[in-house]
A = this chain, B = another copy of it.
């Protein structure tokens, strides 16, 4: 029965699902960054033809899902489940995107960890024999996030040096029960870690301990050495959070040379005025559904550990003096099984 369990937090999938299609849709700023060539669609003005930023975010999800389905050669009507979420209150980015489909839907909330959470569950549902085709989708939008979490754009608030820039983007992955890979082989589900950081403009520091905890647990649960992976990719810790994770591992005597962060990769940190880097559900989603999976298909990387990171705070919890609970879910992806 529990032949799949590895340690306390990891499962090894016995019939590793295949990532049959993936697509990324981003905004103008992301399209001017170093990963521009890896995105499927780049919006000209971040509205995607809609009349509000929230509706623009839903539009991005619809575009990403249909592009991923097309690349997988599948129709939406064949999907057994969509697993999706976003950062907006009541996850309306997702609710209004999925409304257009006619597919069974599980709504998720994992803050910026949602891409790895949706990928985890989408893979587990296939491995468990509950279907043959699932989709994992998520998004964020700079303009909808700014006015919801921080201040209206028109206010022109000053940003602190530890702040990150919410990525305008949506990534979608299509998983099949059988296929030619890349394959999802392991899922390490995170616990909530909260080390007392209270500054919502320093999410990298809040999330770094969760990333460290999950990566360390994954390596311990699977018996894999860090060097097994060509890349260990965190979600959106940004420059500061990335350095904190490296430091944690240094203290354990481990030099994690293959650790990279989607929030650092997606922008030119010097040239694009994004302070510590990118963040948001869409950040790790579009880097995975572009740069990373394309690199795997091109033979550049064989094994990747994808570690989405999320800060489970709200403006209300911050105003009530609470610290920031964080979580990180890791998903191991390999080109061969």
Which residues does A use to contact B, with CB under 8 Å?
A: 1-5, 8-9, 11, 14-15, 51-52, 54-55, 80-81, 85, 87-92, 95-96, 98-99, 101-111, 117, 120-121, 124-125, 127-132, 148, 177, 189-192, 194, 312-317, 320, 322, 325, 327
Per the bound structure, the CA–CA distance linking A105 and B320 in Å amounts to 24
Q: A99-B312, A105-B191 are in contact. List 14 more A-B contacts (CB 8 A).
A: A3-B129, A4-B129, A11-B131, A55-B320, A90-B314, A91-B109, A92-B317, A96-B317, A96-B322, A105-B190, A105-B327, A106-B110, A107-B108, A108-B108
Minimum Cβ distance to chain B for residue A97 (Å): 10
CB neighbours of A132 from chain B (8 A):
1-2
CB neighbours of A117 from chain B (8 A):
106-107
- How many copies of this chain sit in the oligomeric assembly? 2
CB neighbours of A189 from chain B (8 A):
81, 104-106
CB neighbours of A129 from chain B (8 A):
1-4, 14, 128
CB neighbours of A102 from chain B (8 A):
191
The dominant DSSP class at the A interface is loop
Q: Is A313 touching B90 in the complex (CB atoms < 8 A)?
A: yes
Q: Is B131 touching A128 in the complex (CB atoms < 8 A)?
A: no
Per the bound structure, the CA–CA distance linking A131 and B189 in Å amounts to 12
